[in-house]
Chains A and B, each alone.
Chain A
Amino acid sequence: MAVTRPRVDADALADAIGLGPEELAMRKGFLEFGDDDVHRLHAMYELTHEHVDVVIEAFYEHLMSFPETAAFFRDPRLLEHVKGRQKEYFIRLTQGDYEQEYVTDRLRLGSIHERIGLPVRSFLGMYAFYLRQIASLLLEEHPGEPGRAFEAFHSLTKLLFFDIGLGVDIYIYQRERTIALQQEAIRELSTPVLTLRDRLLVLPIIGILDTSRAQKLTEGLLRSIRESRAKVVILDVTGVPAVDSAVANHLLQTVEASRLMGAQVIVTGLSSSVAQSLVTLGVDLTKLNAVGDLQGGIEVANEIMGYRIVAIDDGTPEVVDARSDPQAG
């Protein structure tokens, strides 16, 4: 289901995901990323600055050679934009300062990739590419000192794992927001109060009924009862998958509150297993005025309201007010 997800400001993202100074310190500790690493990375600054353009161009050439990833960068403006950001990112890796501002930058970049829909495996592949590129640069830079090259490489690896962690956090966070928005949208969809006929309302309930949703539902129904001066309400629970004592009580309360406003409630769509659960919970089914299905419920509503459906000459059934119809028995 498509939902519009409002943009969250990158500065607010760190807060939203819970990436405060304590959390970041903990992550660095876990990766054993310390001051030595910071120094080694900073020592690579000249190196990265010198080669940034070449590395980034090679990087995007690599990306564009795979149709799967190329698809995301068809728009030349977007491509230029992300290239620019990647160059900044690349240089930032060796700037020597990896605190809150660094994190905000990462999150921003990760946000862009998530928003355009780049799969996680693609952005992980990007990191692998960086490591390869820099590994060869480091070996060239420290000829005959593979140990030193390796140490520098190791520091970079730690930093990149730190970055990957942030990227994954963004993906997960945004996914969860989308899910939450979708759930809200489903909830809104599922509680319309329908006017079947003058003073007869139908409320089909679909999905999980938690306390907050049940309250909204009941409030909406009671206001509709007042607005349409309803005498009968059919509450259809075919779409309610599980009925526990909380749901049973929400139903009973809805029935009772409707009665206080002068409307009778008929509950339809109770499957035999749900009915059984309710009985086990000690709910008096007669209080719910339970009828098997919606059709049966409408028939009962007709009876209560004094209507009868009569076939007129051309075969079209017509709803008649039994009290005013002289033919009514």
Chain B
Amino acid sequence: MPVPILKQGDCLIASIQSALTDADLLDLRDELAERVGRYRSKGVIIDVTVLDVLDSFASRTLRTMAEMIRLRGAETVIVGIQPEVAFSMVQLGLSLDGVTTVLDLEEGLAHLDRSRRARVAHAGG
């Protein structure tokens, strides 16, 4: 089941709608990598609000996604990890180290906004 990916300015927003199989997750990874390259996006938001379980495979794959996206010049923000999922993840020992995680879509966009302004300031300065 493909995950809808929206383009919003120089950001991409991938909104996961339902439980994903491993294959779906890997497809998403490849799809995002491709589109970041094609649109020269600067930011990617992956919304996992709907996911009721984030296991070791999902966690590993999200980190890989973030790395691949970074190599293509964009930043990844994971949004919407739910309390029960966050709790289970830390019990399991998964930390998503090195990946930016924020509360929700609003925060995700705000974060990418700040990054953009920092880039502009840096470029202008």
Could you list which residues of chain A lie within 8 angstroms of chain B, going by C-beta atoms? 215, 218-219, 222-223, 225-226, 229, 253, 256-263
Using a CB-CB cutoff of 8 Å, which residues 81-110 of chain B contact chain A?
81-84, 86-87, 89-91, 95-96, 101-104, 107
- Contact, CB under 8 Å: B87 / A229: no
| CB pair B87 A219 closer than 8 Å | yes
A229 / chain B contacts, CB cutoff of 8 Å? 103-104, 107
Interface SS of chain A: helix, strand, loop or mixed? Answer: helix
- With beta carbons under 8 angstroms apart, the residue of B82, B87, B91, B107 that contacts A262 is B107
Q: Kindly list chain A residues whose C-beta atoms are within 8 Å of the C-beta of B101.
A: 259-262
- B-chain residues with CB within 8 Å of residue A222 when the two chains form the complex: 83-84, 86-87
A258 CA / B103 CA spacing, docked (Å): 10
Q: How many A-B residue pairs have CB under 8 A?
A: 48
Question: By the criterion CB–CB under 8 Å, are B102 and A225 in contact?
Answer: no
Residue with the highest number of chain B CB atoms closer than 10 Å, among A260, A261, A262: A260
Query: Which residues of B lie under 8 Å from residue A260 when comparing CB positions?
Result: 81, 86, 89-90, 95-96, 101
A-B contact pairs, 30 of them (CB 8 A): A218-B87, A219-B83, A219-B84, A219-B87, A222-B84, A222-B87, A225-B83, A226-B82, A229-B103, A229-B104, A253-B91, A256-B90, A256-B95, A257-B83, A257-B87, A257-B90, A258-B86, A260-B81, A260-B86, A260-B89, A260-B90, A260-B95, A260-B101, A261-B86, A261-B103, A262-B79, A262-B102, A262-B103, A262-B104, A262-B107
- Nearest CB of chain A from residue B47's CB, rounded to whole Å: 13
How distant is the Cα of A218 from the Cα of B87 in the complex, in angstroms?
A: 8
Residues from chain A with Cβ under 8 Å of B81 in the complex: 260-261
In the complex, the answer to whether A225 meets B87 with C-beta atoms within 8 Å is no
- Chain A positions within 8 Å of B83 at CB level: 219, 222-223, 225-226, 257, 261
Residues of B within 8 A of A253 (CB): 90-91
Residue of A nearest to B54 (CB): A260
* Cα(A258)–Cα(B89), bound, Å: 11
Closest 5 CB pairs of A and B: A222-B83, A262-B102, A262-B103, A257-B86, A260-B86
